[in-house]
A and B are shown apart, each in its own frame.
Chain A
Amino acid sequence: MSETVTTAPRRKIDAELPALDLASDFPILARPVNGRRLAYLDNGATTQKPDAVIDAESRFYRESNANIHRGVHWLSQHATELYDDARVTVQQFINAAHAEEIVFTRGTTESINLVAQSWGRAELRAGDEILITAMEHHSNIVPWQLLCQQTGAILKVAPVNDAGELDLEAFDALLNDNTQLVAISHVSNALGSINPVAALCARARAAGAVVLVDGAQAVAHQAVDVQALDCDFYAFSGHKLYGPTGIGVLYGRRSVLKSMPPWQGGGDMIVTVAFDRSTYADVPQRFEAGTPNIAGAIGLAAAIDYLSEIGMARIAAHENALLDYATAAVGAIGGVKLIGTAQHKASILSFLVDGIHPHDLGTILDTEGVAIRAGHHCAMPLMTRLGIPGTARASLALYNTRADIDALVAAIHKAQDIFGVRA
């Protein structure tokens, strides 16, 4: 199966362009942690924010704050314009055909739950099947389990191989006439495996299924084009994209979104309300009940503007070169086993160190200013499949450099010294 057209080529641009050096745009990276220069390698959990985002949120509250879609006064109209502009910024970022295909949510988790509870409860019947993969984050598993309990639909799981790649033959075999929905991650948060989503979308749609792509770990690392992917839904969070927490996006194909009933009721999602009957707003307002996270949407747009100025292809090239460097450097340490060796990977290096539990490793690295994640990464079924309790995970962002990887390697050596297991 060919790789998606949206994945940047690897190992090509490193020689042509100098590595990015953008740490000075991110004020938190200048603060020492535990007396050391911070090597922040927990970007899969959340990314740090550039001045451009922090300033945009602050500026909104200082200069533009008002509620949207309801005021006759100038500030309200001004805030509404900024919020609507943010939607267009998101639309262009993922190349959606229409601005109204962009629904603002709290994050990826809420985006997926919205689809499950609106589209899913309206469309699914007992015996219908939902197909996911064994590498999904809990947020792309549990909403479907809840939906199955509510509708009698059946959850099917396509397996992964030992390298952490989706088993494409098994995926095809599980896809059938009863499959109503396919929900797949674009990039695995635990292992970094990139799924060939464009091809998977084509197969799923040919089988008559609707496709949701969990893009939480993809949008910050490569250009995403929802029209090229031809997915029905694409979900992601602002805070993993250098934007604020509490803001996220659900992209929905317009024809599918328009067919969906409201999920939450309240202000802003209605046209008229009477006690015997209410009528609902068109998309996307139908799915944005209540006052939204206006400042968050504007902060997210500022993050996208920041990224667009650098260029997603440039960012992908920088991160891919750094991932190659990190994979070689960490993989060369005696006693280290890399977990997740998919051919196509992005930004994430999961590993185990012989004789040191990931949690102990995380503590020791922290005392050296190296921030990583240790544990199951909200992918417990994947850890069970791989036969491990968890991993240590270093996840990269555009501001990371070889100095961060060198700090990681030195800290792993130190942990091995402390535990007396240096090879």
Chain B
Amino acid sequence: MEKLLDIRNLRTYFYTEDGVVPAVDGVSFYIKPGETLGVVGESGCGKSVTSISTLRLVPNPPGKIMEGSEIIFEGTDLLKLSEAEMRKIRGNKISMIFQEPMTSLNPVFRIGDQIAEVLLLHQGLNKAEAREKAIEMLKLVGIPRPEKVVDDYPHSLSGGMRQRVMIAMALACNPRLLIADEPTTALDVTVQAQILDLMNDLKKKVNAAVMLITHNLGVVAESCDRVVVMYAGKVVEEGDVYSIFEDPKHPYTVGLLKSMPSAVGGQDKLDSIPGVVPNPLNLPKGCRFAPRCNKAMDICREKQPGLTVLGEERTVRCFLYNREDGVK
């Protein structure tokens, strides 16, 4: 199947006063049309920077997408487009849902106007049509009394409702790709499942692909087709959701899965991965996970492991699986 989005060797560096932070350092992955890709990792591993790089919204300065990176969307390299062409893609072909529904709606705009804005920008509708469509979108995301809510201000809605509005906004133009940056993290557990179901439903309806960024493995298991695991700015493992959960290869993935609370079997204490994420200004010389890895060998501390292809759509970056191949 053809790839909808193909990110190749993406490197996004931040030039801070203390030094260069390689937030995303040579990340490559792809998304096929209509599929849901989970991007998993701890805070600060570069998940969110990857997503804003895709929309070319990295604050510059201090951030910069380095030469040699490619983000190919429907055959064109987004990094080579002009700013005006990029604006036509944002919100139209690729749209985004944020983590914080409480702050991602503008408090001075009515709900309807916020949804209508994206339609006015990209679909060339007039105000009345945009309002009609906004009501229709609100109905679609399951908001009660949409004719009334369309004229409300955001502060009168709850967090779950606001996230529904964000989803309505994101899907209003039938995008090809929806980037969801931890869409359920800020919500109540009971609402989380509803929002995920809604996203999965609507995604099928409009036939969009989803890049689901999360650190919640439960969310991944529920909605993703494939998974990319990131650690300190690099992809460490990639595979379909079943093989990742059934047979994790990278010690980091293994650790992540172990540290997940289980519904069956009473555990006294949750496992955790010892240590902390390395300081991005002072990354270890070898494998970035080596200092925390319980299977680390001498070579891990000396050289950076390359990607090892284990099978179709299944790769891992670890010396346990290929001891000879190493970069630098």
Asked if A and B bind, the verdict is: no
Residues of B near any A CB (own CB < 8 A): none
